[in-house]
Structure formats: structure tokens, C-alpha cells
Structure 1
């Protein structure tokens, strides 16, 4: 069986000496990072007015969960051959049917998902943000079976109040079925950034509405893909967008930073995400307590876009096609 192709954070290609030098973390920064998670666990709960929304693939998980399963079970050739003929969700459902026909059980699929790379720093960041009182949610184009299996395996399922994603359920025959979040054959969401089955901006509007009704005033959004820009565009000036540097959302923001009203704090890997996320949540908490200067806008370093993209981890298999977003950016 061919090894799964997945961009693990710990196996990135080496950077140029200049970029490596600029990315080295000082001793004091490392010390602050090591203490940050503990600081969050020790403090009283006072972040109840903050909602944090995560993408899943290549954000919480350090690869695409669909690609992980497809590659691990040796379905890459069939998947790539059928890719031009079927929408993504329909194709994943077809792959699940193929696995069932080969005698693969749902339990075997779950065991495969449990091996997918989720960095301990991500687990720590999620647990710390939850312990501080934040309302954590997921907005993903994966599916609920994949996401819940992985979250339960890592002991963080209970940290999330809500998971917004494509349905994934097991039928009476023991076959996993994957279906789209929205029936795009009968109703189009009309978004030019997002895939046909889910407009993340529209879902983010619903999340904001429900969370605001529960008293949430500030939002943090974490993501990496094109559609995560659509969700990020729903944030307000005192919210925070955490785009993964060198990934599609970063590229789109660099093309037109004015699309996003929220403060932007980029990240590259799990360790940096832990620091940036918890610092952002802490700053928002202080903002709620009257410190208007708790968070300062951070400009997007577009002049470094090319080198950052060259240095970023890339999966040899890129199956999700870019969404038609030229009219937006």
C-alpha cells in the first residue's frame, strides 16, 4: 500500500538560510510559549463572550482527512480518475461505497482516521481555549464522521459546542454514506468563492447569529483554504482572523487585504498557532474588560508572499480544485 501523502509539520522541506534566520524564535519567546497554555488553565473563566471557529482539514488536522483515507486505503488512482466526473462529496461517497464493496468496515475506516496527524500543540491550544471559557465551534468541508472520530480519539470532542460540516452516517448495511451540506442540485448558494455544497460565509453568518444570541461579542476564525476567506469576510473590526501563512487563504488576503475587516494574525504551524490563538483570545478578553489597546492591527506581509509559499509544506496530492474567486479578489 502506498504511503499517504500528507504535509506533516515536522517533515517540512528546509528553508533558505535567510528565511530560517528570520523565523528563529528568541529564548524569551520560547519561554513565553511554554508558559502560555498553563497560564490559560490557571486563570478564572472569563472568556465566555468569545467564540472561536476552526476549519478542520489542514488547520486542526495537519492534512486533508479525505485525502488521508483515500491514500491509506489505496484508492488514489480510482479517485483521481473519477475526479473530473463527480462533485467532491459525491466522489467521497463513491469511495466509501468502494471500501464497503472491498469488505472494509466502518471500524477500519475509523482506525485509519485515528492515525491522521494532529499535533499535540493543537490539542493543547483547544483544551486551553475551552478551559478559559471560550465557545469553540468547527466549520469544515470534511464530514461529521471523520471529524468526530478524530476529535474523540484525541479527547477534545467535548471542547466543541457545534460542528458545521457535511453529513456522514452509517446505514443499516454498515456502509458509511457521505452527503453534501447543501443540496446544490436544487438550490445554489450563489457564492463565487466557496464550493457548491457549502458557502462558509453563509454558515458563518448563522454561527454569528446563534452565538451572538448567547452573548458572544467577539469572534476568532482559524483556517487555511479559499472558503475560509469567505468566512473571514464576515468578521467585524474587533474580531480576529488567523489565516495559515503560505496556504490559499493567505494568498487571497495578500492579493486584497481590504476584503477583511478583522485584525489578521498569521500562523505557520501547530506551535505558532497555539501561541497566536491563545494570545488573541487573551487580548480579546482584555478588550472586553476595557483595554481598548489590547489588540493592534497587524499588516499582512505581502512582500514575503513568494518566499513563504515556497517554504510552506505542500502535499504531493492536491485534489481540491481552486474555487472561482477572481471576481472577488
Structure 2
């Protein structure tokens, strides 16, 4: 597979330079050679800061969601590799407006280790911090082992809800942290992969799959899924994904949800709307109301073909936070 790049070793840094050059009103890059994106206007004094991070290769996650009503700063590493401790520290400092900083990121070992270390270092300097892990991928562990689940597209809901809470005047770090935890506990996701992607530095596909095959439940880095078999019709794919999420969450008649149908990179909007068509009909038949559908590229895996489905169980508070204003080049309602 061909890629548009110069030197593979410069892939992430040149992407960050281009991101900031294209959107100077939204983003700034910190330091010489650092991999931290922060709000263009700097930290908001008196507001709880929110930071995230992870490997590159998932735009708009992670750095794309820096902006009012969302994240304050974000650190990233190489493609599919976690950010460094130093960049995590710099991101937290860039987000600090004096009211504490929430670390909000996916449940991956390298991210946990480096963000925890950064948090400990800054807490020794007097910064107040908390941490919330997003673990929404139902294919990676059962309900009884929810804490072991991977964090995938559910990160987007956590960013939006925590970010909206942090924008409310006088909100404390504890309140923002509670909102993030509430969002995470109300979120469940599952993905389906049709093709691999290629990490620029390796130049090789992340996994192999036949042209007529799909894998249900595969992770965004090529982690093993639930089953692999012949490619199915769109309605069958959407139906199985929804069935698995409803069984896991217990969402049923009379409830209200937000639905995120997400492209893993190569899948076009046309195919996402074919999936959503079936999902909307099935949810209506089940007596479940869709409060806010999101269809598009929200959390990708380079050029992987496939999609993920995320459900967020809504109540009045979560829906109000989800609908609150936010501003970044990758978010719109």
C-alpha cells in the first residue's frame, strides 16, 4: 500500500506541524521537537484542565479534540505507540489553569504507565490531578472484567462530556472527574475490521486478512476479535454489533441513547450511513430513542477499512453536556 510521506521517521512531527499550520486559531505545538498540542490561547485560568494522549494514527483522536468544551492539551507518540513521560508532563502543565488537571485516556499499558508517572511527578510539585481510564470495547473483555477492556471510540463521548462540565464556571476537579466516570460507565463499543493498515515506520500490514473476510471485534491496533469469517451483508454486520452492545449494556425499551457510527479510516460515509439506516430501524423497533446520532470519522486506525459502533446511555445530565457548545476543527453537531 502506498503512503504520502517523506521520511517515515518524520511522519508524526510533520503531521503535527501541518495540523497547527492549518488551524492556528485552534492549536499550538509546545516546545522544540515536543509532541504536545494545546489550545491556541493557552490555559484558562480558574478552569479544570483536561489532558489526553496516546499513539498517533487515530486522528481526530487524540490531538484533534483540543479546544473549548473538549480537551485543553494532548500528548502523542509514534504511530500506535504511547506518548513519552516528558510530553505527558508538558501537556498537563499546558492545561493547568490552577483548578487541577484531569488525565483522561484509553486503557492501554504504555499510556497508563507514562501518564501515571507524569501525574505523580506533578503532584509532588503541588498540582492536583485525577485520572479516568476509558474502557469501552466489549469485545476485549466481558462485563465482569470491564476494567480490562480497551479504550476505543468511547473516548470521544468522554472528552465531550468532561469538557463541557469543565467549561461550567466554578466546576471543581472532583465534579469534572465524576462526569468523565459517568460517561465512561454509560458507554460501550464494538468494531469490525475488513482490512489492515500499515504503520509508516514498519512498512508492513498490522495483520493479514483475506479479501473476502471480516473480523468482528478486532481492536484498533489489530488486536484479536471475537470471530473471523466471510464478509457479511451490511444489515447483518450492524445487527450483530447492536445485539452485542444491547446484551452487554442492558439498554432497552423506554431508554434514550446517543449512537456513534465511526469509520476506522478507509470506510466512506456512504457505508456508515448504510449501517446507521439499519441501526436506527432496529433501535426504534426496540423502543429505544436516539437522542444524538454521530456518523463519521471520529477515532480512526490509519487507513484500516472497517467501522465501530458506540452506544452512550443518556440521562438528562449527559445529554445536556453532550449538546453543550464545543469548538475544534473536528467536532460539530
TM-score where L is the length of structure 2:
0.30
More strand by share: 2
- Of Structure 1 and Structure 2, which has the larger fraction of its residues in helix? 1
Q: TM-score when scaled to structure 1?
A: 0.31
